[in-house]
Amino acid sequence: MPQEPSLPFPNIDPIAFAIGPFAVRWYALGYLFGTGLGAVYAYFMLSNQRLWHKGEPPFPAKDIWDFAFWTMLAIVLGGRIGYVLFYNLPYYLANPTEIINTLDGGMSYHGGMLGLMLAVVLFTWRKGHGNWLSGLDLIASVATIGIFLVRIANFINAELYGAPTSLPWGVIFPTDPEQLPRHPSQLYEAALEGLLLFLVIRIFTHVFYALRRPGMVAGIFGIGYGLSRITVEFVRLPDSQIGYLYGGWLTMGMVLSIPLVGAGLALVLWAATRKQSALRTPA
State the binding site. Answer: 151
Q: For the packed helices 216-233 and 197-206, what is the interaxial angle rounded to 10 degrees?
A: 160
3-state secondary structure of 178: coil
Phi-psi region of 209 (alpha: psi -120 to 50; beta: other; left: phi over 0): left
User: Could you give phi then psi for residue 22, rounded to 5 degrees?
Assistant: -90, 115
Q: How far apart are CA 171 and CA 158, in angstroms?
A: 10
- Which positions ≥6 away from 15 have C-beta within 8 Å? 23, 24, 25, 26
By three-state DSSP, how is residue 255 classified?
Answer: helix
Sign of CA dihedral 158, 162, 164, 170: negative
Give the whole-angstrom CA distance, residue 268 versus residue 214.
9
> Which are the contacts of 34, defined by CB distance < 8 A and separation ≥ 6?
145, 146, 147, 148, 149, 150
